[in-house]
Amino acid sequence: MTGNGEKEKAAPDDRSFTKGLSPLQLIEIDACTQCGECLKYCPVQDVTGNPLISPPEKIRVFREFIKATDGLKARLLGPQHIDRKLLEDFTKAVYECTTCGACGQHCTVGIFTQRLWPMLRKEMVRRGLGPIGPQANLPKVIGETGNPYNRLAVERFAPWFPEDVKVSEKAAIAYYAGCTGAYEATPMVRGDVLVLGAIGEPFTMLPAEDEVCCGFPLFITGQHDMLEDLVSRLVAAYRAKGVKTLLCSCPCCVNIMSRDWPLFYKKELPFRIRHITQFVAAAMKSGKLAIKKELRERLIYHDPCYLSRGVGIMEEPRAVLRGIPGAELLEFDRNRLESRCCGAGGAARKIFSENAIEMGRHTIAEAVEKKADKLVLSCPACYAKVNEAMVGYDKQIEIVDIMELLAKMIEAVDSGTP
């Protein structure tokens, strides 16, 4: 109620469930045939078996929400009541998803679900229903510390950064470590830096207090308010260092940087974004980086969802691994665009940890079944969760990040290890 006692009325557009969605996404919601084929590929379905949290059911329920605010009855009589429990159940379903996009990849119509689910989350945030659990603290934590893990900036690089690698004050190439790598998957980012050092091209980095979150955790949980600010800060900082190529190994960071930073920055970025495997594969091809030591092992590479389906990086990691003398590269049954989520995606891994562990174990089990010696990952979230999934699991395999592995190969030669 307002001060003068008049009933406060939201503008019709504010009540609508369609406010945050693009025309294409609304058409996609209409285009779902409800065939249910996507359920065969949904990793959450594999571990929960609950069709109520499936892609077609989420779309069906969201259609009901749209009907309640934009249907004929709503237009004639005003927005219809929606059961609170239905809204809450839907919110939980949309956050339990790992947003891996496998449903969209196999959609019989071609709905871009890897983008649709985050936008539905955003709508639930706008309504005060999402995000769920500790995800709600992300804006505050990132605002205060610059990262989603509530860790100090001084802990960002110091514990893992190799002493002998030189970082230039200014350079055309910059490396962004990313929060998950820097705080939760340190062997991975250490590997990145060691490999960059071995290539020998000058590269720069932002000081720990300036290398803030790329915005992905906020984006993926539907909390978009801070994104413009974070993106502007980071872009300005890299621009000031004369950066022309920004390297990063985290698929989620790379995804938001290449796909969404220009939207939040409101113009083209002044530098290009590259995944570290692109840079390293090119360096190996040009001879700037040569792996001399042999590795007579069978490696199986897992495609991170946001790297393969997200931005189309599939061949470069394989080129890097094939560049290791003696190594045999195996493939998961579902690989590249078809890859199966390891459970770490969509900011669901800490809220729905049991699901994520189960999914991670599916990945481990297949790698073991294929008699791989090493399970090679290239995502810090995958790295953290699949390692966690291995604890207490009867199937065991060595998990290694792609750059961690490469760095070991380089270090072995440098130190003269046979």
Partner 1 sequence: MSLILISIAYLAYAAFWVRLSLHAVVWLRAARQQAAGPSAAPGKPLHAFAMTLIDLLLFRRLFASNKPLWLGSWAFHTAFFIVILRHLRFFLEPVPDCIVRVQPFGVFAGYLMAFSLAYVIFLRTATKTKYVSYQNYIILGLVFLISATGLLMRNYFPPDLVDVKSFVMGLVAMRPAPLPAGFFFSLHFFFVLLLVPFLPFHLFTAPFVAFEARKREFRLDKVMHDR
By C-alpha distance, which of 202, 213, 139, 203 is closest to 175?
Answer: 203
Q: CA–CA separation, 317 vs 324, rounded Å?
A: 11
For residues 307 and 275, is the Cβ–Cβ distance under 8 A?
yes
Q: Give whole-number Cα distances, 416 to 260, 267, 293, 295, 411, in Å.
A: 44, 49, 10, 15, 8
Instruction: Using the CB atoms, write b or e for 386-406: b if 16+ within 10 Å.
Output: bbbbbeeeeeebebbbbbbbb
The residue (of 48 and 150) whose beta carbon lies closer to partner 1 is 48
DSSP 135: G
CB 324 within 8 A of CB 291: yes
Query: Under the criterion CB under 8 A, does residue 76 sit at the interface with partner 1?
Result: no
Three-class secondary structure of residue 190 per DSSP:
helix
* Residue 284: half-sphere exposure toward Cβ, Cα within 13 Å: 22
Nearest distance from C-beta of residue 144 to partner 1, angstroms: 28
Closest to partner 1 by CB, 267 vs 296, is 267
Cα–Cα distances in angstroms (integers) from residue 69 to residues 51, 93, 112, 184, in the given order: 25, 21, 24, 43
Q: Are 375 and 368 a contacting pair, CB within 8 Å?
A: no
49 binds partner 1, rule: CB under 8 A? yes
Position 85 contacts partner 1 (CB under 8 A): no
Q: How far apart are CA 17 and CA 123, in angstroms?
A: 7
> Which lies closer to partner 1 via its Cβ, residue 254 or residue 347?
254
Query: Quick check: 282 binds partner 1 (CB under 8 A)?
Result: no
Asked if 54 is part of the footprint of partner 1 (rule: CB under 8 A), the reply reads yes
Enter the DSSP assignment of 329: E
Residues 170, 175, 180, 184, CA torsion sign: negative
Task: Identify which of residues 173 and 291 has a Cβ nearer to partner 1 in the complex.
Answer: 173
For residue 412, how far is the Cα from the chain centroid? 31
Binding residues among 246-265 for partner 1 as defined by CB under 8 A? 254, 258-259, 262-263
78 binds partner 1 (CB under 8 A): no
Q: Does 268 bind partner 1 (CB under 8 A)?
A: yes
Choices 44-52, 181-189, 359-367, 400-408 (CB under 8 A): range interacting with partner 1: 44-52
| Per-position x/- string for 91-130, each x denoting binding to partner 1 as judged by CB under 8 A, each - no binding | ---------------xxxxxxx------------------
In the complex with partner 1, which residue's Cβ is closer, 44 or 291? 44
Residue closer to partner 1 by CB (options 110, 326) is 110
Please identify, using beta-carbon distances, which residue of 9 and 60 lies nearer to partner 1: 60
Backbone angles phi, psi at 53, to 5 degrees: -105, 25
75 forms part of the interface with partner 1 (CB under 8 A): yes
24 is a contact residue toward partner 1 (CB under 8 A): yes
Instruction: Please identify, using beta-carbon distances, which residue of 114 and 147 lies nearer to partner 1.
Output: 114
136 binds partner 1 (CB under 8 A): no
Report if residue 164 touches partner 1, rule: CB under 8 A: no
70 binds partner 1 (CB under 8 A): yes
Binding site for partner 1 (CB under 8 A): 13, 16, 18-19, 21-28, 30-37, 39-40, 45, 49, 51, 54, 56-57, 60, 66, 70-72, 75, 106-112, 254, 258-259, 262-263, 266-268, 272-275, 278, 311-313
